[in-house]
Copies of this chain bind each other. A is one copy, B any other.
Amino acid sequence: MTQDTTVCLAELDAHTYAEWLGSGSRTVVVPVGALEQHGPHLPMGTDAILSTAIAEQVATLVGAKVAQPISYGYKSQQKSGGGDHLVGTTSLDAATLVGLTRCLVSSLLEQGVRHVVFLNGHYENYQFLYEGVDLAVRDAGLGAEDEACVLLLSYWDYVSQETLDEVYQGSFPGWDVEHGGVLETALMLHLRPESVWLDRAVDHPPAELPRFDRLPVQPGRTPASGCLSAPRGANAAQGKLLFDQVTADLAADLTAELGSAQAD
């Protein structure tokens, strides 16, 4: 991929990037992931792999660029990721993730980026990204009427009801236990099949966790696989459906929300 075709900031030289900023196409997407156990059948980098792939496709569709992902995420919680005690889960505390987000927004806005979009792929990150964005937006003195702004979303919020029905056939277990389950496995099978080891997948019913969080975590409540629901039946076709629908809808949303900025 050449400088002319890549959407990745890290692959561009700074002079080419400066020209692009000057052309009015000034949206940068920051994928956010985690280094987190995802059971025996998915790689630990799954969250950043998926958010980056979605970000690159969306950026291609809307003429944006993609920054290096935030590769490490907030502590895995038992009810959404199995827990932070599991081997392979390598996490940031809240202050660090908030600071990281705040610095990236401030630094990107200062150099002339008009819109920053955080595309989250790790459930536990969201509120800390939000705080980082909020602090940076206040630091910059931005108001509702300013064109510069920051968007923040988790990609699964873009899965439509139609897609959900098609993929899960009525057995959707809820986003919170979709850790290492059908959604992520199907997307990986579509996007990175060489990094899925379905023969290692373990089948088990969705984890039944208490309605409360308990700390320290009781490890026995997390299934031995580390997954909160099994990837049973996940396939690449589902992954393609999910990927195509989510990226199309997200691109449409960005264009609708930031459109005039992109075009001027």
Copies of this chain: 6
Interface residues of A in 98-128 (CB under 8 A from B): 98-100, 102-104, 107-108, 111-112, 117, 124, 126-128
Contact A153 B40 (CB under 8 A): no
User: Chain B: which residue is nearest A112 at the CB level?
Assistant: B87
A264 within 8 A of B: no
Contact A212 B152 (CB under 8 A): yes
Contact A211 B44 (CB under 8 A): no
15 A-B residue pairings within 8 Å (CB atoms): A2-B194, A10-B71, A14-B88, A14-B89, A17-B88, A35-B68, A88-B111, A92-B99, A93-B99, A94-B127, A96-B103, A130-B213, A133-B213, A137-B215, A150-B215
B residues within 8 A CB of A9? 35, 44-45, 88, 90
Interface residues of A in 34-69 (CB under 8 A from B): 35, 37-45, 48-49, 67-69
In the complex, what's the smallest C-beta–C-beta distance from A164 to chain B, in angstroms? 14
B residues within 8 A CB of A72? 68, 100, 103-104
Contact A43 B12 (CB under 8 A): yes
Contact B96 A68 (CB under 8 A): no
Q: Contact mask A208-224 → B, CB, 8 Å, 1/0? A: 00111111111100000
Of A15, A100, A226, A257, most buried by chain B (CB within 10 Å of CB) is A15
B residues within 8 A CB of A14? 37-40, 44, 86-89, 226
Contact A197 B35 (CB under 8 A): no
A18 within 8 A of B: yes
A162 within 8 A of B: no
B residues within 8 A CB of A85? 144
- Extra contacts, 15 of them, besides A94-B128, A95-B98, A144-B219 (Cβ < 8 A), are A9-B90, A10-B48, A13-B37, A13-B44, A14-B40, A14-B88, A48-B68, A69-B71, A72-B100, A90-B104, A91-B103, A96-B100, A130-B213, A130-B215, A137-B216
A195 within 8 A of B: yes
Contact A211 B90 (CB under 8 A): no
A248 within 8 A of B: no
B residues within 8 A CB of A126? 127
A75 within 8 A of B: yes
Contact A45 B11 (CB under 8 A): yes
Contact A215 B89 (CB under 8 A): no
User: Chain B: which residue is nearest A145 at the CB level?
Assistant: B216
